[in-house]
Chain A
């Protein structure tokens, strides 16, 4: 237990057993009681931000208009809440909530919950669970994306899923755990999954090594904690780590009185073990913490979709694992449905151990929040071998298509497409024909013969690599670009990973990979919608990489991303005759994507911020992230006499966007770290406001550092605030902007 955790514990040391729970109420300002009788709009109270995505529909839309084009640039920092004072984090990836006069947020790798006074940024209360070695070896060591909020008009709850995978229900007024919920306000989410809980132990003081080396283990009988070495059994219990790892990175979502909780998993880059824990979605009663239902994202024998796993799905079956829904969720309270964006199955780039389409991987699943029954699902990628997790809460919209009002779900994806579905039935709004795609030439890999390809809207990121994508400033440059391009497998999209063995006759050792594992859209970006007009604004990135698999000599998997795990704790022993490979082979070979520092990709309107009219599926406008450009130039003689264009400064970063009554507002996100810096000729990090119809920047305000997560906005005591997370390590904070003067 760290000193910090001890300091916060009020339940005493309690170290020998499990957990210490602490809440500290720092102040009780005159904050009003819960809204009684206020009509909710998409699950949100007017002027508030009760869900990660603004409302249950994940619109990220606020009807507020005090901050508008005429005054946006006059915004000032009202306060900065220093999350780093409570501990360190990775980058601060949180969007706080605002409900009934309080800002509610998470902070630090320990993932405490905090309430903040919106007027001055003072801390109202804080709560944190000491999770011992469950925390130490949790796969996702960061503050997470935020909290969930529930109120019946009298009682209020802040709901948190911790780093070590506990669910807690706190009184939003005081931060004290709800004694009627679970055990003293906490439910162990590792319980109720069908695995027995066992005592846990560690052999080292480090975190997990990606993908799953140096894990927790089941404690030996009578094993004790060694305080000097910080190893052994500290009293924590959990699922036997031999089954795999489980974690959380995004908040639960409230649908009525049901808390809908999923999980995240270990990275699947280069797994060591042939199976891991599959993704699950569960419903819990907000009043009691009782588990109401469980939905298997890897369908078990007899369940719908189990036949899409030809080798079976029982826990422990080789090739099973993941399919975790690690992103944020969306709900339609009227329909009683929760929409779950599901990640990919185990091993990011090789699926030879899991033949079949692998439902519900890479799907959105609509689940009845009361019963846990599947209403419909749609799989965007069959048998994923590209790390194309569904990375973002889908956006719900009511639009008019062909003269008819339609209830729509728009799913932004890593693939560079919005997949648009009827959210009642799951049917595509515009055709998405199953289209033949390239076959894999990797031994044992049966890539899906087809993938659904949206006919509209047009994509927002580079996809695949075709000759028409290459620069052609001069014939010589085109020739050079073509020579580079032809060194790896080319195609329009879904190019299967190649096997990294140059000597295989007639086979290329690499495949072009666009979008890459980060998208397209990823959890940093995603879309905001205008509920009045049916426009959607997508923040995405674009780029070009290559994708290869190879045999990791110390992994159980036949192939994985190129990696040598030999020597890592938990890896297989090195095989006979094993010799450490030279660096260039051990990591994937570099196939350059530039000539003279200039990308071989022809500049196009990709990445940045793309606006579509979802009444028609038409693209309306595009701007680079932050509307920041750079002039291309090269000293390479091949470019002599060539006039090169301006290109986006941050193609590989995601614009983080919200919408208000009259503005699109975005920040550049963490990719601006070290790149968007103040100088005599640059204002440095800013938040930008765009005209909704044209994308024209109508305002910009200097901010202390680049935002690191999607902003939010709310009204309190007559003032509109815009709040966003920023910073890394112990420099994390929430920054609040508001207009000068009294309301």
Chain B
């Protein structure tokens, strides 16, 4: 096994613990208690006082990596404006960042959902935040679901056209 394989292997293990939707976990009889706890955690209401995505939750370098991934893997089906426009904002404003992460990490790419490493999904997310003119900070966004539950998605009005 080479280094790439190892990286992905670790990634899958993390995914299994962190990102598998609650409805799947519920299928496992011996994990019922854990499932309900995780389910509750995943559906947690956003805390209005929680830090927001306007506080620099990703780094510029990470967004740059995310842009390369986005152009290579995403944009043949999506255009960037679909991830910045009113429909997108309407869906995600006010939600915990973990919701957006979970959606992307469990549903995309459509033909092979959950196939990328958590760090890769986090890089993509950083670029999507950057597309929405959210400011970069000093550190990468980690694919840490519990931490992301405490970050609220907030858009900076007015939304100007993202520079490509």
Apart from A517-B111, A592-B114: 7 A-B pairs, beta carbons within 8 A: A518-B111, A567-B86, A567-B87, A586-B91, A649-B4, A649-B8, A675-B116
Which residues of B15-36 have CB atoms within 8 Å of chain A's CB atoms? 15-17, 20-21, 23-24, 27-28, 30-31
Q: Is the CB of B24 within 8 A of A673?
A: no
A439 contacts partner chain B, Cβ-Cβ < 8 Å: no
Min CB–CB distance B60 → chain A (angstroms): 15
Partner of B85, one of A209, A516, A651, A676: A209
Q: What mask results when residues 549 to 568 of chain A are scored 1 for a CB within 8 Å of chain B, else 0?
A: 00000000000000011111
Interface centre among A214, A631, A646 (most CB of B within 10 A): A631
Partner of B86, one of A88, A568, A649, A676: A568
Q: Is the CB of B164 within 8 A of A88?
A: yes
> Which of B46-54, B72-80, B132-140, B144-152 lies at the interface with chain A?
B72-80
In the assembled complex, the Cα of A567 lies from the Cα of B9 at a distance in Å of: 42
Interface size of B by CB at 8 A reads: 60
Q: Given that A633-B12, A674-B120, A681-B3 are known contacts, is A583 also in contact with B73, CB under 8 Å in the complex? A: no
Residues of B within 8 A of A269 (CB): 77
In the assembled complex, the Cα of A593 lies from the Cα of B73 at a distance in Å of: 20
Chain A interface size range: 35 or more
Q: Is the CB of B5 within 8 A of A649?
A: yes
Instruction: Give the nearest-CB partner of A729 in chain B.
Output: B71
Min CB–CB distance A549 → chain B (angstroms): 14
Residues of A within 8 A of B28 (CB): 480, 595, 636, 638
Partner of A671, one of B30, B73, B85: B73
> Which of A61-69, A161-169, A200-208, A302-310 lies at the interface with chain B?
A200-208
In the assembled complex, the Cα of A673 lies from the Cα of B12 at a distance in Å of: 18
Residues of A within 8 A of B81 (CB): 206-207, 209, 214
Min CB–CB distance A652 → chain B (angstroms): 3
Min CB–CB distance B157 → chain A (angstroms): 16
Q: Given that A518-B111, A633-B13, A682-B4 are known contacts, is A210 also in contact with B72, CB under 8 Å in the complex? A: no
In the assembled complex, the Cα of A673 lies from the Cα of B72 at a distance in Å of: 7
Min CB–CB distance B2 → chain A (angstroms): 5
Question: 17 A-B contacts, Cβ less than 8 Å apart?
Answer: A141-B79, A210-B77, A210-B78, A480-B27, A541-B111, A567-B85, A583-B95, A583-B103, A590-B107, A592-B20, A597-B16, A631-B1, A635-B17, A649-B5, A674-B72, A677-B7, A729-B71
Which residues of B119-164 have CB atoms within 8 Å of chain A's CB atoms? 120, 123, 161, 164
Which residues of A669-708 have CB atoms within 8 Å of chain B's CB atoms? 670-671, 673-677, 679-682, 708
Q: What mask results when residues 614 to 650 of chain A are scored 1 for a CB within 8 Å of chain B, else 0?
A: 0000000000000011111111111000000010010
Q: Given that A597-B12, A637-B30, A680-B3 are known contacts, is A590 also in contact with B87, CB under 8 Å in the complex? A: no
Residues of A within 8 A of B95 (CB): 583
Instruction: Give the nearest-CB partner of A479 in chain B.
Output: B27
B55 contacts partner chain A, Cβ-Cβ < 8 Å: no
Residues of A within 8 A of B30 (CB): 637
Partner of B16, one of A596, A649, A731: A596
